Structure 1
Amino acid sequence: MSPFHFARAFKASTGLAPHKYVTSRRMERANSLLLTSRLGVPEVAYAVGLTNVSHFRRVFRRHTGLLPSDLRPARTAGSDPPGNGDRAAGSAA
């Protein structure tokens, strides 16, 4: 099967071109990693197969409407390890 015929058949069966399908799956995985792991944005980008963080941020935003870092404050707001150190320093002063 030629690449052209493969792409047509793939799009007919999935509704997406092969590249868009792969990109969509990568961004779904990145979203999951950002919400459930403590990996940084560069590590998540690398884990989903993108080594250029700027490109990852652009693609992620195009796919989800959010920047990768926008998912972090909502997840880490209750844990605030840096805040604990600030409170300890503030109470000692």
Structure 2
Amino acid sequence: IDNAITSTISRTIITHGSTQIMVLSMLLFGGQTLFYFALALTIGILFGIYSSVFVAAAIAMWLGIKREDLIKAAPTKTDLNTEDPESGAVV
């Protein structure tokens, strides 16, 4: 979980940062019409950063999810139907 959080923090910060720059420009230059909309988006972006980094990892750890639980198992010979001409190759 720690490696996953570390690898996604930079992507999360870059994505939310670029979005926040656009929303802040709406907040500053949008006038009275867009002010409260941009303010709501700013608050939502901040809560989104917090929840994607801290809350999701804590919930996954609380549920006891491990890396092995998320990896798809490879098909076994019993899963393959060799008599079916539509089965094709397993990639």
TM-score, normalised by the number of residues in structure 1: 0.29
Q: Which is higher, the Rg of structure 1 or of structure 2? A: 2
Bigger RCO of structures 1 and 2 (CA < 8 A, at least 6 apart): 2
